[in-house]
Structure formats: structure tokens, C-alpha cells
Amino acid sequence: MIVSLKTSKIIAIEGAVCGGKTVLSRGLTANLSAVRLPEYMELLPLEHLAHGQILPPRQRFELFLSLDKYRLSNCQGCALYIFDRSILSIIAFEYSLQMMGHEVLELAGLLEYSKEAQSYVPDLVVTLNVEPSVQAQRWAARGNPMDSIFISPVFNQYFLSALLRMAALFGSYWIHATSLHPDNAARLIADSIAAIPIAHNRISYGHLIDAAFNHK
């Protein structure tokens, strides 16, 4: 059973591939006594990480929806959650693929997906960027089997621009940085999340999707 998080606060760690999100989310989990929801790629079966494989849109949708349901099934009504990526990444991912000429999930599909997660809109979003040279080194060190499109400068530009357009709707509840060490970030993030009232009027994913894809 998925527990409603309307009385909890949610921090989402977002940003570029190999940007330090997982290191930050794990460090913050310990520093802030929070519950961490693992990054999607930590949960993906190996067959979905084959080199060069980008799943068809509907299959992608069903896979990530099932992963989100699995992640959220571990929520037990705690006061603070840290999401290592969230549906914001899914929206930005689809936008970036569209801009690079790939077939993507129709907006109606994204809206369908978003309805499943509307109770889990983050209260605070932390977006990490990374220098291309550092990103490439980290990617190579991981021996990552995923398609290298995800570390291309063009993909990163589209991905981060979509995230930042969504950020505009969050106002002051968004932190953007090139890097954040967990120990140094804990106080900043703790002060930020403390200032946000519980169950404030959370933004709808429909508005976030409109913002991400509105690139005129």
C-alpha cells in the first residue's frame, strides 16, 4: 500500500547524469534523518541497461511507472523523504529525446503518468550540474552500459533547460548548483526545507509538463 505524503516533506535531487546526485542524496539522508528513495537506474534490470538501448515510449512509460510505484511502496509516513530523481527527470528526459529527434511519449501519456504521482510533487528541488570533462570521466569510470547520448552536451543542455523552466514554477523552493558536498549542503537544505510549510499548495504536474515543453 502506498502511503500518502501530504503530511511529509519531499526533497528531490535532480540534474545531469553523473552529476553527484546519488552521493548527495545518500549523504543528506544520513545528515537529515530522512528516508531515501533510490535512483531509477539502481532498480533497473540489467537487460534495460544494454548499450545503445532506448526503450520505445510506451514501454518506457510502463517501466518507469512501475519503478515509481515500487519506490513509493516503501514510504511509511516519515517526516522527510529524499527522492534520488523524481518524475521531473522523466518529463525533462522525454523533452530532451524529442528535441534530439527520438520518438517520445505523447503529452497525454505524460499527464496520465503524472496523475499517478501528483501527491508526490517535491517541496524542494536541488538541481546539480557538472562540467562535461568531469561527467565524461565519471561515466568512463563507471563502465556505464547505457547509451552515451545521456552525457552529450546537447542532451544536457536540453535536459537542464527543461528542469530550469520547471524550476521557475517552484520559485524560492529550488536550489541550483554545480556541486554540493553533503556535509556542506545539509544546513542549507535543512534551513530551506524548514521554511516550507507542510502540505503547502503543491504545483500540478500538468503545469510542470507545460513549462518543460514550452521552448518557444
| pTM tops 0.85, yes or no | no
What fold, for 9-213? Rossmann fold (3.40.50)
Tens of pLDDT, residue by residue over 16-52, are 888 788 888 888 888 888 889 888 877 775 555 544 4
Q: Please list, in sequence order, all residues whose beta carbon lies within 8 angstroms of the beta carbon of residue 36, skipping any fewer than 6 positions away.
A: 25, 26, 28, 29, 81, 82, 84
Angle at 45 between CA 105 and CA 66, to 5 degrees: 45
Specify the range with the lowest mean pLDDT, choosing from 2-6, 112-116, 156-160.
Answer: 2-6
Q: Name, of 4-13, 64-73, 123-132, the range with top average pLDDT.
A: 123-132
Rounded CA-CA distance 10/170 in Å is 13
Contact 72/120 with Cβ under 8 angstroms? yes
Tens of pLDDT, residue by residue over 82-117, are 999 888 888 888 888 888 888 777 766 777 766 666
